[in-house]
C-alpha cells in the first residue's frame, strides 16, 4: 500500500506506464493518444470545476475536483517527461520567498 506522501509518485508511475504500454480501455492512454491539446483541454475543464466547487464551498466536492485537477496535471507532466520532483524542487525553491517577490524575479523561459 502506498502511503499518502508517495501517492503523487505512484500515480505518476502509472501514467508513465500507460504512456509506454497503452491499452484501449485506459483513460490515461486515450489522453496521451489525443496529444497535448486534449490534455490541456481537460486541465482547463478540471480547473473550472475546481473553481465552481470552491465557490460552492462543499468540502467533499472541492477535494474530488482538486484530485481530478492534480491527476490531469500529472498526465501533462508525464506527456512532457517532467517528473513531479521537478515541481517539488520548484516549490522548495519558493519556500520562504514572498509570492510577489518570486514572481517579479522570474525571467522569460527560453523556448526549446
- Tally of domains within the chain: 1
pLDDT of residue 85: 95
CATH number of the domain encompassing residue 23: 1.10.287.1080
pLDDT of residue 1: 42
The answer to whether 13 and 23 have CB atoms below 8 angstroms apart is no
> Has residue 98 been placed in a domain?
no
> Has residue 39 been placed in a domain?
yes
Annotate 18-48 with DSSP letters as a single string. Answer: HHHS--TT-HHHHHHHHHHHHHHHHHHHHHH
Domain that holds residue 37: 4-85
How far, in whole angstroms, is CA 39 from its chain's centroid? 10
pLDDT of residue 98: 79
pLDDT tens, the chain, 112 aa long: 445 568 999 999 999 999 999 999 999 999 999 999 999 999 999 999 999 999 999 999 999 999 999 999 999 999 999 999 999 999 999 988 777 776 777 766 656 6
Amino acid at each position: 500500500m502506498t502511503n499518502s506522501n508517495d501517492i503523487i509518485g505512484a500515480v505518476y508511475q502509472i501514467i508513465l506506464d500507460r504512456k509506454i504500454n497503452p491499452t484501449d480501455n485506459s483513460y490515461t492512454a486515450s489522453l496521451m493518444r489525443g496529444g497535448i491539446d486534449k490534455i490541456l483541454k481537460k486541465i482547463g475543464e478540471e480547473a473550472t470545476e475546481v473553481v465552481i466547487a470552491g465557490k460552492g464551498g462543499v468540502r467533499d466536492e472541492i477535494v474530488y475536483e482538486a484530485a481530478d485537477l492534480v491527476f490531469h496535471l500529472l498526465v501533462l507532466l508525464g506527456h512532457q517527461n517532467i517528473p513531479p520532483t521537478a515541481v517539488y524542487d520548484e516549490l522548495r525553491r519558493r519556500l520562504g520567498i514572498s509570492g510577489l517577490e518570486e514572481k517579479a524575479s522570474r525571467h522569460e523561459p527560453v523556448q526549446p
